[in-house]
Amino acid sequence: MKPSLYFKDCFRYSLKKFASKESLLQWFKKQAGETSETFEYPLKLSDNQNVLIILPDTAEEVALYFPFLQKISKIKKHGVLLLANSLFENLIQTNQVKQEVLYYTTLGCRFGEDEFQKLKEVIQARQIKASFYLQRQTLFQMLYLCKSCGIPYRFGFDCENFYPLLNLSLIPGEDFQKQIEALEAIFEGAVQ
């Protein structure tokens, strides 16, 4: 049987393999908390606030974001932590990405796995102010991770369908240039 995208393979979560996506989304929303704290927009980052960027889940899409990552590496007022699949470690190192990168494995980044719990601990310790979920395939456990770690600004695509796990929308669609311009504008406005 194919392993679950969302949960550790164990008896405790075995029945979740048969649940619908909508049912799984509702379960993750309940686990993370059904409400979202109020916040001020536009986002403003002070000198000591951190940002989490969850990179896409394909090498082609990760590569499309390299110019954006290079541009924001010049903004030194905040720390940027990238969360990326370990499959892209060589690609990221080859392109000399300057941000700190936290890698995960596909199977280890499922709810209930030790690796998932360690990611949560690292992210909580950073007291991250904003997260940017750039993956096209929505992994509910990643959205849960951002909300449960107390990140107040949770950007992503198609936010309306994933509220309160996400609470701010990025430009949807396939036009990466517009998406990157929107991300750059958010970052430039946040550090002024």
Q: What are phi and psi of 128, to 5 degrees?
A: -70, 140
pLDDT score for 117: 97
Q: Which residue segments constitute the domains of the chain, with CATH numbers given? A: 49-190 (3.40.50.2000)
Distance CA 152, CA 67 (A): 26
Q: Per-residue pLDDT tens for 19-33?
A: 899 999 999 999 998
Higher pLDDT: 26 or 183? It is: 26
pLDDT score for 103: 96
**Residue in the structure block whose two tokens are 């000399």:** 96
Tokens representing residue 26 in the block: 């509702």
Q: Per-residue pLDDT tens for 59-86?
A: 999 999 998 888 887 665 568 899 999 9
Residue 178 near residue 192 (C-beta atoms within 8 A): no
DSSP string for residues in 6-34: SB-SSGGGGGGGGS-HHHHHHHHHHHH-S
Q: Per-residue pLDDT tens for 86-136?
A: 999 999 999 988 889 999 999 999 999 999 999 999 999 999 999 999 988
DSSP string for residues in 42-93: S----TT-EEEEE--SSHHHHHHTHHHHHHHTT--SSEEEEEEEGGGHHHHH
- The gap between the terminal CA atoms of the chain, to the nearest Å, is 51
pLDDT score for 42: 74
Q: Per-residue pLDDT tens for 147-171?
A: 999 999 999 887 888 888 999 888 7
Q: What are phi and psi of 52, to 5 degrees?
A: -110, 130
pLDDT score for 44: 77
Residue 103 near residue 89 (C-beta atoms within 8 A): yes
pTM given for the model = 0.90
